Structure 1
Amino acid sequence: MAPRVLVSDALSETAVQIFRDRGIEVDYMPKLGKDKEELARIIGQYDGLAIRSATKVTAKLLESATNLKVVGRAGIGVDNVDIPAASKKGVIVMNTPFGNSITTAEHAIAMMFAVARQLPEASVSTHSGKWEKSRFMGVELFNKTLGVIGAGNIGGIVCDRALGLHMKVVAYDPFLSEERAAKMGVQKVELDELLARADFITLHVPLTDKTRSILNAETIAKAKPGVRIINCARGGLVDEAALAEALTSGHVAGAAFDVFETEPATDSPLFNLPNVVVTPHLGASTTEAQENVALQVAEQMADYLLTGAVQNALNMPSVTAEEAAVMGPWVRLASHIGTFIGQMTDEPITAINVLYDGSVSGMNLAALNCAAIAGIMKVANPDVNMVSAPVIAKERGIQISTTRQEKSGAFDGYVKVSVVTENRERSIAGTVFSDGKPRFIQIKGINVDAEIGANMLYTTNEDVPGIIGLLGTTLGQHGANIANFTLGRADAGGQAIAIIYLDEPLEPAAIEALRATGKFQQVRPLAFDVA
């Protein structure tokens, strides 16, 4: 029986025809995504669901999706899909991570021109019959300094276009290497230097705990007087109230925003301020981009339903069905090791080296590599998946190497991931026990046996008496319950580590209390996706 696909949002007819041409039955109902009850009533008939942003794939909907195998999102954002719930149901979630890149980058450049020359206000004034040449005095982009916060895929395109306009470009991106920056023709700087030098600032980072309000009252105050700020990335990267105050005071000369803290944005501190250009999240709204992502998602879904091939999956590696049964635990292990290292690394990464020992060395190492790299990079960019991670790593000049070797130790097989930065090399190894559960077995060359949980704490210290008691007492005082406690040391009196599995996320006060003791060189809370 031919697979059946439901298209519940507006996709192009060309994309719909791709399904038909490949022998897949397709029902095109572009308004159905807004009707939750009707969608839930019929979703059980379909193997695939192709969507944009209107359809909400919730845990409740997935309960009715008894035959669903794949959800394809035409675009990058998957906020409207409950990925953990889909994973538990065995439903693959795909997106199209690069289809909107050029369009979004061009919108940022267009917004920069608009705010530099006050084009929207000038247009309204002229339409109303006024002729206010003297009112709309703009500035050139030529020879100005553009500060780019986030020099990844979209940010890199913005850098390239800005250089074509003969702007000077400085970039702040903790994961951008000096070598990659040189190839791009930009200068890598810290955030404070970017703020002090930039005439224009444009943001191109995902919204994470680290990037939320990256431009706030404090950082905006450090910016060059007369700066103009553009945000076509994510709402919440800029404190809108703080920016409004800076615009009112004149410290910031103008702003152009396509995204807002709350969307749809019916009100914002930025609305109705002079020389503020606002658009309703149009970054991906071009005919070319919409067509590209629609065609791409149709091809990806058809490939999976007909051949089992997986591309741009957010919750499954690119492996065959036969490999998945054997490799699943090892994929999770590689991802966990990468996530551990990613949370420990704050410097630009120059190389990632992965060693496969024993039984695991004969598996699909490309998929395992992708899982490890994605684990590392997902800490800084939640949009990264196992397909896009190697591409992003290559764009940033990160060298990837893989080594396989015959069984050399006590374990039938293990994976060891090493990350190289300009100042250090950090490595973590792990294995999968016979029960299928991944474990950390070596950290910084120190042997351990650590069960992996959602919430963990990692500490380093000198091997002296009293550390175990200090950890237990301090955590207990802050209501933290320990599920598993693992210790290791290089030698007596030398470097020692602890990795603690906790029932709940650790409160910031507990972390500060441990650091305040002066007994620990590092105190790091860690989080892992163990669903």
Structure 2
Amino acid sequence: MTETRKPRVLISDKMDPNAARIFAEMGCDVDVITGETPEQLIARIGDYDGLAIRSSTRVTKEVLDAATNLKVIGRAGIGVDNVDIPYASAKGVVVMNTPFGNSITTAEHAIAMMFALARQIPEANEQTQKGLWPKNGFMGVEVTGKTLGLIGAGNIGSIVASRALGLRMKVVAYDPFLTPERAVEMGVEKADLDTLLAKADFITLHTPLTAETKNILSRENLAKTKKGVRIVNCARGGLIDEAALKDALDSGHVAGAALDVFQTEPAKESPLFGTKNFICTPHLGASTTEAQVNVALQVAEQLGEYLTTGGVTNALNVPSLSAEEAPKLRPYMALAEKLGSLVGQLTPSAVARISIHTEGAATELNAKPIVAAVLCGFLRVQSATVNMVNAPFLAKERGLEVREVKTEKTGDYHTLIRVSVKTEAGERSVAGTLFSNAEPRLVELFGIKVEAELTGDMMYIVNEDAPGFIGRIGTLLGENSINIGTFNLGRREAGGEAVLLLSVDSPVAGEVLEAAGKLPGVKRAKALAF
């Protein structure tokens, strides 16, 4: 009898030794070989089924080409910038991360930075050790009774909120996905960004870096803050305009700032270095013994389970599917994710409920992957770490009510998925079908019939149905060297409200969108990406 070969796993970055123990207990052969050059890794990787990494190992196209037996990559931590995920997907390699293993650690670091700002601890320490004994040189502020402005109220943000409430602070939160019900549950005041900026004595950021959040604390928004505000960023570099922050510190409008992350890392230089009332750390948010143990154990458990049982947890590029379901479900999931992404990108206010309604042939399929795909597309607008597995968890965490509805009878289409969202402004929905049982198509957008393929970079425009509009928008894009792929038009009635969805060969810059919004009859113009 031939003995079954054990899955082989390589741990290529320094990791808690218990990770290797877990792999062995789960029936894997494991090697711990760290610090190798890319060439050494390429020469070795072909022998392994699984690869466990942190941030040092770079899994490039060349590594993946050499990884002829590789089935899964596990990142002990959140960020996967060091993995070529699209190419890994093309090679059939599952990529996992551990998005929640260091949440408490990062939240605690933000609180620590807030205290350091409030009591000027780094500066006082430096002068005391110089023998200056500056007892009267530092006048701090209490955090008790102060208002903390929370930009981002997801997993880490909610932990910061709970710690701040324990310190008897008031918490105001801005998060497009924060529902009123979830805000009450957290004990925070839900507010728009301008209200938060005007109220907060301290501001902490806990949001991913997306097109919407880049420079969310811009020069303009920093000017809207309360004079004497103190700002903490332990989330992502690029959320704050660093040059504008320096100017605000120099002028005294911002009383202090603490950054654990920078726009460019490693941050060998920054306009903020040497600025008075500025403190920083070298991306230490996840750097505690407990967090490093947690993410190492989690990645070992996830990889071991996948290699021994096929179970998929926290995968970034593959849903949880059985071999029998996959062929039928994949096109539906592609449609569902696109519909979720569309409604997420076009819904600016907080969503209290999202409903996934299937009709016709779609009702015969397993609904969970379809629902997860919708949530994945919807939530990915705000978080790059969302995947098919953790999307339902994140939706629940954010207080988002999720409903599933099935209608077996067939309407205008043999199969249909409708995604509806309930917001403070009312309910709105989008719907799509499959052409030839495989090609996703949008067929309805907020009550307007429109047929469109959702792909690549697109532009969405709401306008008054009037002659000459298509010529004007075409001229504008042409003048800005933006090539149009397809035009997709729809309207409620002749002369009424109309929508235009057009695909373009390159992203639409902000100034072009602004110009489009000023064209006669245009009510809204927005760039989309799929």
TM-score by length of 1: 0.95
| Residues 274 and 69 (structure 1), Cα distance of their counterparts in 2 relative to 1, 3 Å cut | same
SS at structure 1 position matched to 2:324: helix
Q: Does 1:317 align with 2:319?
A: yes
Deviation readout 1:264-286 (Å, 9 max, x if unpaired): 12222222333322211111011
1:460 partner SS: strand
CA drift of 1:288 comes to 0.8
Give me the whole-angstrom Cα distance separating, in 1, the residues matched to 2:152 and 2:413: 41
* Equivalent AA in structure 1 for residue 169 of structure 2: M
Query: 2:373: which partner in 1?
Result: 371
Aligned-partner Cα distance in 1 for 2:226–2:246: 16
Task: Render the CA deviation track for 1:208-248: whole Å, top value 9, x for unaligned.
Answer: 22222222332222222222111111112122222222222
Assess if the C-alpha contact under 8 Å between 1:5 and 1:26 holds in 2.
Answer: yes
Greater alpha carbon shift after TM alignment, 511-520 vs 399-408 = 511-520
Residue 16 of structure 1: aligned partner: 20
> What residue in structure 1 maps to residue 410 of structure 2?
408
Q: For residues 221 and 311 of structure 1, what CA distance do their matches in structure 2 show?
A: 43
Change in Cα spacing, 1:30 to 1:249, as seen in structure 2 (3 Å) is: same
Indicate the SS of the match to 1:322: coil
1:78 deviation in Å? Answer: 1.0
Q: Does 1:31 align with 2:40?
A: no
Q: CA deviation at 1:496?
A: 2.8
Q: Is 1:263 paired with 2:244? A: no
Residue pair 1:309, 1:319 contacting (<8 A) in 2 also: no
CA distance in 1, matches of 2:142, 2:509: 49
Does the 8 A contact of 1:407 with 1:413 survive in 2? no
Counterpart in the other structure of 1:306: 308
Q: Once the two structures are aligned, what percentage of the paired residues are identical?
A: 56
Alignment of 1:491-506 (within 5 A): 491-506=493-508
Match of 1:177 in 2: 179
Match 1:282 to one of 256, 279, 284: 284
Structure 1 pair 435–330 and aligned structure 2 pair: CA distance change class (3 A): closer
The alpha-carbon distance between structure 1 residues 492 and 29, as it changes in their structure 2 partners (threshold 3 A), is same
Q: Is the 8 A contact 1:246 1:252 kept in 2?
A: yes
**Does the residue aligned with 1:392 lie in a helix, a strand or coil?**
helix
SS of the residue aligned with 2:339? helix
Corresponding position of 1:231? 233
Q: Which moved more, 1:226-235 or 1:492-501?
A: 492-501
2: CA distance, partners of 1:232 / 1:140? 21
- The CA deviation string for residues 159-218 of structure 1, in whole angstroms up to 9 with x for no partner, is 110000001111122221222112211111222222222111111111122222222332
CA–CA distance in structure 1, aligned partners of residues 414 and 87 of structure 2: 33
How far the C-alpha of 1:322 sits from its partner, in A, is 2.6
Shift of 1:331: 1.2
TM-score by length of 2: 0.95
Residue 132 of structure 2 is matched in structure 1 by 130
Unaligned runs of 5+ in 1: none
Distance 1:94 1:416 in 2: 30
Q: Which residue of 2 aligns with 1:516?
A: 518
The worse-fitting range, judged by mean Cα deviation, of 148-157 and 501-510 is: 501-510
Tell whether the 8 Å contact from 2:451 to 2:488 is kept in structure 1 after alignment: yes
Could you tell me which of 489, 492, 499 is aligned with 1:490?
A: 492
Partner-residue secondary structure (3-state), 1:321:
coil
**1:436 is matched with which residue?**
438
Give the 5 Å matches for 1:104-503: 104-434=106-436, 436-503=438-505
* Inter-CA distance 48–419: structure 2 relative to 1 (3 Å threshold): same
Q: CA deviation at 1:515?
A: 2.5
Q: Could you tell which deviates more after superposition, 271-280 or 507-516?
A: 507-516
Instruction: State the AA in 1 paired with 2:172.
Output: V
Counterpart pick for 1:71 among 70, 73, 80: 73
Q: Report the AA paired with residue 335 of structure 1.
A: E
Structure 2 gaps, min length 5: none
Say whether the 8 Å CA contact 1:308–1:320 is kept in structure 2.
no
1:261 to partner: Cα distance:
1.6
How much does 1:481 deviate?
2.9
AA in 2 matched with 1:17: R
Residue 7 of structure 1 is matched in structure 2 by 11
Q: Secondary structure at the match of 2:450?
A: strand
Q: Which amino acid aligns with 1:347?
A: S
Range moving further from structure 2, 504-513 or 48-57? 504-513
Measured at CA, do residues 137 and 481 of structure 1 come closer, stay the same or move farther in structure 2, by a change above 3 Å?
closer
Cα separation, 2, equivalents of 1:512 and 1:355: 35
Picking from 72, 85, 88, the partner of 1:83 is: 85
Q: Structure 1, residues 129-170: CA drift from partner, whole Å, max 9, x if none? A: 332211122211111111111111111110110000001111
Q: CA deviation at 1:370?
A: 1.2
